[in-house]
Amino acid sequence: MAERMIMRILLPIVLSMVALAREATAQEECAAERAAMVETIRAYARSDSAVRPQGLSERVLEAMGRTKRHLFTPERTCSIAYADRPVSIGHGQTISQPFIVALMTELAEVAPDHVVLEIGTGSGYQAAILAQLARKVCTIEIIPALAETATKTLKDLAYDNVSVKLGDGFVGWPECGPFDAIVVTAALGQVPPPLIEQLKVGGRLVMPVGAAYTTQQLTVVEKTAAGKTTTRAVALVRFVPFTRSKN
Protein backbone atom coordinates (compact mmCIF):
# COMPACT_ATOMS: atom_id res chain seq x y z
CA MET A 1 0.00 0.00 0.00
CA ALA A 2 2.78 2.40 0.96
CA GLU A 3 4.67 1.62 -2.24
CA ARG A 4 1.60 2.39 -4.34
CA MET A 5 1.14 5.67 -2.51
CA ILE A 6 4.76 6.63 -3.13
CA MET A 7 4.41 5.77 -6.81
CA ARG A 8 1.31 7.94 -7.09
CA ILE A 9 3.24 10.84 -5.62
CA LEU A 10 6.43 10.29 -7.58
CA LEU A 11 4.93 9.53 -11.01
CA PRO A 12 3.67 13.09 -11.74
CA ILE A 13 7.01 14.49 -10.57
CA VAL A 14 8.96 12.11 -12.83
CA LEU A 15 6.71 12.87 -15.80
CA SER A 16 7.14 16.58 -15.19
CA MET A 17 10.91 16.21 -15.07
CA VAL A 18 10.88 14.22 -18.32
CA ALA A 19 8.77 16.90 -20.00
CA LEU A 20 11.13 19.63 -18.83
CA ALA A 21 14.13 17.66 -20.04
CA ARG A 22 12.53 17.22 -23.47
CA GLU A 23 11.74 20.93 -23.65
CA ALA A 24 15.32 21.82 -22.72
CA THR A 25 16.63 19.41 -25.36
CA ALA A 26 14.35 20.96 -27.98
CA GLN A 27 15.54 24.43 -27.03
CA GLU A 28 19.17 23.36 -27.37
CA GLU A 29 18.65 21.48 -30.64
CA CYS A 30 21.18 22.78 -33.18
CA ALA A 31 22.08 25.68 -30.83
CA ALA A 32 25.83 25.24 -31.29
CA GLU A 33 25.53 25.01 -35.08
CA ARG A 34 23.25 28.05 -35.17
CA ALA A 35 25.70 30.11 -33.09
CA ALA A 36 28.58 29.04 -35.33
CA MET A 37 26.55 30.07 -38.39
CA VAL A 38 26.02 33.56 -36.97
CA GLU A 39 29.74 33.95 -36.30
CA THR A 40 30.52 32.86 -39.86
CA ILE A 41 28.06 35.45 -41.20
CA ARG A 42 29.60 38.10 -38.96
CA ALA A 43 33.11 37.29 -40.22
CA TYR A 44 32.03 37.32 -43.88
CA ALA A 45 30.22 40.62 -43.41
CA ARG A 46 33.30 42.32 -42.01
CA SER A 47 35.40 41.29 -45.00
CA ASP A 48 32.77 41.83 -47.70
CA SER A 49 32.67 45.22 -49.44
CA ALA A 50 28.94 44.80 -50.09
CA VAL A 51 28.24 45.30 -46.38
CA ARG A 52 28.80 48.32 -44.17
CA PRO A 53 32.37 48.59 -42.77
CA GLN A 54 31.13 47.71 -39.27
CA GLY A 55 29.36 44.61 -40.58
CA LEU A 56 25.73 43.58 -40.39
CA SER A 57 23.36 45.17 -37.90
CA GLU A 58 22.78 43.32 -34.64
CA ARG A 59 19.03 43.20 -35.38
CA VAL A 60 19.68 41.07 -38.45
CA LEU A 61 22.26 38.87 -36.72
CA GLU A 62 19.95 38.31 -33.75
CA ALA A 63 17.09 37.31 -36.07
CA MET A 64 19.40 34.84 -37.81
CA GLY A 65 20.45 33.48 -34.44
CA ARG A 66 16.88 32.99 -33.23
CA THR A 67 15.52 31.31 -36.34
CA LYS A 68 15.64 27.50 -36.39
CA ARG A 69 16.78 27.04 -39.97
CA HIS A 70 16.79 23.24 -39.65
CA LEU A 71 13.00 23.28 -39.27
CA PHE A 72 12.76 24.85 -42.74
CA THR A 73 14.81 22.11 -44.44
CA PRO A 74 13.49 18.70 -45.54
CA GLU A 75 16.08 16.64 -43.64
CA ARG A 76 16.18 18.85 -40.53
CA THR A 77 19.85 18.00 -40.06
CA CYS A 78 21.83 20.51 -37.99
CA SER A 79 25.14 20.11 -39.83
CA ILE A 80 23.51 20.61 -43.23
CA ALA A 81 21.03 23.34 -42.29
CA TYR A 82 23.55 25.69 -40.68
CA ALA A 83 26.46 25.30 -43.09
CA ASP A 84 27.01 28.48 -45.11
CA ARG A 85 25.70 27.07 -48.36
CA PRO A 86 22.34 26.72 -50.13
CA VAL A 87 20.11 23.79 -49.14
CA SER A 88 17.82 22.00 -51.58
CA ILE A 89 14.14 22.00 -50.63
CA GLY A 90 12.92 20.07 -53.67
CA HIS A 91 11.08 21.22 -56.81
CA GLY A 92 14.35 22.66 -58.14
CA GLN A 93 14.42 25.26 -55.35
CA THR A 94 16.82 26.06 -52.51
CA ILE A 95 17.14 28.06 -49.33
CA SER A 96 19.89 30.59 -49.97
CA GLN A 97 23.11 30.33 -48.01
CA PRO A 98 22.81 32.06 -44.61
CA PHE A 99 25.17 34.91 -45.47
CA ILE A 100 23.13 35.84 -48.55
CA VAL A 101 19.89 35.72 -46.53
CA ALA A 102 21.45 38.04 -43.97
CA LEU A 103 22.90 40.34 -46.64
CA MET A 104 19.60 40.72 -48.52
CA THR A 105 17.80 41.36 -45.24
CA GLU A 106 20.35 44.03 -44.30
CA LEU A 107 20.12 45.72 -47.70
CA ALA A 108 16.32 45.90 -47.42
CA GLU A 109 16.72 48.06 -44.26
CA VAL A 110 13.58 46.67 -42.63
CA ALA A 111 12.18 48.67 -39.70
CA PRO A 112 9.73 47.49 -37.00
CA ASP A 113 6.76 49.35 -38.54
CA HIS A 114 7.40 48.16 -42.11
CA VAL A 115 5.25 46.06 -44.39
CA VAL A 116 7.47 43.78 -46.48
CA LEU A 117 6.82 41.77 -49.63
CA GLU A 118 8.82 38.65 -50.39
CA ILE A 119 8.72 36.99 -53.81
CA GLY A 120 9.64 33.31 -53.65
CA THR A 121 8.57 31.93 -50.27
CA GLY A 122 10.31 28.59 -50.74
CA SER A 123 10.39 26.88 -47.35
CA GLY A 124 9.50 30.11 -45.50
CA TYR A 125 12.94 30.71 -43.98
CA GLN A 126 13.55 34.20 -45.38
CA ALA A 127 9.99 35.17 -44.43
CA ALA A 128 10.67 34.01 -40.86
CA ILE A 129 13.73 36.27 -40.68
CA LEU A 130 11.81 39.25 -42.06
CA ALA A 131 8.87 38.59 -39.73
CA GLN A 132 11.08 39.28 -36.71
CA LEU A 133 12.09 42.67 -38.09
CA ALA A 134 8.88 43.99 -39.68
CA ARG A 135 5.27 44.61 -38.68
CA LYS A 136 3.90 42.45 -41.50
CA VAL A 137 5.32 40.15 -44.18
CA CYS A 138 3.42 39.19 -47.34
CA THR A 139 5.11 36.40 -49.28
CA ILE A 140 4.24 34.81 -52.63
CA GLU A 141 5.14 31.30 -53.83
CA ILE A 142 4.27 29.90 -57.24
CA ILE A 143 4.83 26.19 -56.45
CA PRO A 144 1.76 24.82 -54.64
CA ALA A 145 3.58 22.17 -52.58
CA LEU A 146 6.10 24.71 -51.27
CA ALA A 147 3.40 27.28 -50.50
CA GLU A 148 1.48 24.67 -48.51
CA THR A 149 4.51 23.46 -46.56
CA ALA A 150 5.74 26.98 -45.82
CA THR A 151 2.30 28.05 -44.61
CA LYS A 152 2.18 25.12 -42.17
CA THR A 153 5.74 25.61 -40.93
CA LEU A 154 5.31 29.34 -40.34
CA LYS A 155 2.00 28.73 -38.56
CA ASP A 156 3.43 25.94 -36.39
CA LEU A 157 6.31 28.21 -35.36
CA ALA A 158 3.91 31.09 -34.54
CA TYR A 159 5.06 33.56 -37.17
CA ASP A 160 1.62 35.13 -37.03
CA ASN A 161 2.52 38.30 -38.94
CA VAL A 162 3.28 36.38 -42.16
CA SER A 163 0.71 35.83 -44.92
CA VAL A 164 1.51 33.32 -47.70
CA LYS A 165 -0.11 33.53 -51.13
CA LEU A 166 0.03 31.03 -53.99
CA GLY A 167 0.57 32.96 -57.19
CA ASP A 168 2.82 34.68 -59.72
CA GLY A 169 5.23 36.99 -57.90
CA PHE A 170 5.86 39.08 -61.03
CA VAL A 171 2.56 40.89 -60.50
CA GLY A 172 3.15 41.39 -56.78
CA TRP A 173 0.40 41.63 -54.19
CA PRO A 174 -1.16 45.11 -54.31
CA GLU A 175 -3.90 44.25 -51.81
CA CYS A 176 -1.24 43.58 -49.17
CA GLY A 177 0.80 46.72 -49.89
CA PRO A 178 2.10 49.27 -50.54
CA PHE A 179 5.45 48.01 -49.30
CA ASP A 180 8.34 49.59 -47.45
CA ALA A 181 10.66 46.85 -48.71
CA ILE A 182 10.55 44.04 -51.27
CA VAL A 183 12.88 41.03 -51.28
CA VAL A 184 12.97 38.82 -54.38
CA THR A 185 14.67 35.45 -53.97
CA ALA A 186 14.86 34.37 -57.63
CA ALA A 187 16.75 35.78 -60.61
CA LEU A 188 15.23 37.64 -63.53
CA GLY A 189 16.70 39.78 -66.29
CA GLN A 190 14.72 42.82 -65.17
CA VAL A 191 12.97 44.17 -62.10
CA PRO A 192 9.23 43.54 -62.54
CA PRO A 193 7.50 46.93 -63.07
CA PRO A 194 4.50 45.99 -60.87
CA LEU A 195 6.85 45.57 -57.91
CA ILE A 196 8.25 49.07 -58.39
CA GLU A 197 4.69 50.40 -58.52
CA GLN A 198 3.86 48.69 -55.21
CA LEU A 199 7.00 50.00 -53.50
CA LYS A 200 6.53 53.07 -51.32
CA VAL A 201 8.53 56.22 -52.01
CA GLY A 202 11.66 55.82 -49.90
CA GLY A 203 11.36 52.03 -50.07
CA ARG A 204 13.92 49.48 -51.22
CA LEU A 205 13.75 46.43 -53.46
CA VAL A 206 16.50 43.80 -53.28
CA MET A 207 16.80 41.10 -55.93
CA PRO A 208 19.26 39.20 -58.14
CA VAL A 209 19.14 40.60 -61.68
CA GLY A 210 20.49 38.54 -64.57
CA ALA A 211 19.95 35.51 -66.74
CA ALA A 212 19.06 32.10 -65.32
CA TYR A 213 21.84 29.64 -64.45
CA THR A 214 24.56 32.29 -64.72
CA THR A 215 26.15 34.77 -62.34
CA GLN A 216 23.73 37.58 -61.51
CA GLN A 217 24.02 40.97 -59.84
CA LEU A 218 22.46 41.34 -56.42
CA THR A 219 20.74 44.67 -56.99
CA VAL A 220 19.22 47.32 -54.72
CA VAL A 221 16.53 49.59 -56.19
CA GLU A 222 15.49 52.63 -54.16
CA LYS A 223 12.30 54.51 -55.04
CA THR A 224 13.11 58.20 -54.70
CA ALA A 225 9.82 59.61 -56.02
CA ALA A 226 6.79 58.50 -58.01
CA GLY A 227 8.19 57.03 -61.22
CA LYS A 228 11.81 57.58 -60.19
CA THR A 229 14.35 55.08 -58.87
CA THR A 230 18.05 54.66 -58.30
CA THR A 231 19.76 51.31 -58.85
CA ARG A 232 23.05 49.88 -57.66
CA ALA A 233 24.68 46.48 -58.02
CA VAL A 234 26.03 45.11 -54.76
CA ALA A 235 27.49 41.65 -55.29
CA LEU A 236 27.76 38.73 -57.69
CA VAL A 237 25.36 35.89 -56.84
CA ARG A 238 23.76 32.76 -58.32
CA PHE A 239 20.03 32.28 -57.72
CA VAL A 240 17.43 29.89 -59.09
CA PRO A 241 15.44 31.41 -61.99
CA PHE A 242 12.28 33.43 -61.46
CA THR A 243 9.29 31.26 -62.33
CA ARG A 244 6.26 32.77 -64.07
CA SER A 245 2.72 31.47 -64.27
CA LYS A 246 1.88 29.84 -67.61
CA ASN A 247 -1.73 31.05 -67.53
Is 123 catalytic? The answer is: no
Round to whole Å and give the CA distance between 172 and 138: 10
Count CB neighbours of 81 within 10 A.
Answer: 23
Q: Which three-class secondary structure state does DSSP give residue 167?
A: coil
**Marked catalytic residue, from 47, 88, 96, 163:** 96
Kindly state the DSSP code that residue 33 receives in the 8-state scheme. Answer: H
Q: How many CA atoms lie within 13 A of 125 on its CB side?
A: 30
> In this structure, are residues 163 and 139 in contact, taking their beta carbons and an 8 Å threshold?
yes
> In this structure, are residues 81 and 73 in contact, taking their beta carbons and an 8 Å threshold?
yes
| Torsion sign (Cα): 137, 145, 60, 229 | negative
Provide the annotated active-site residues. Answer: 96
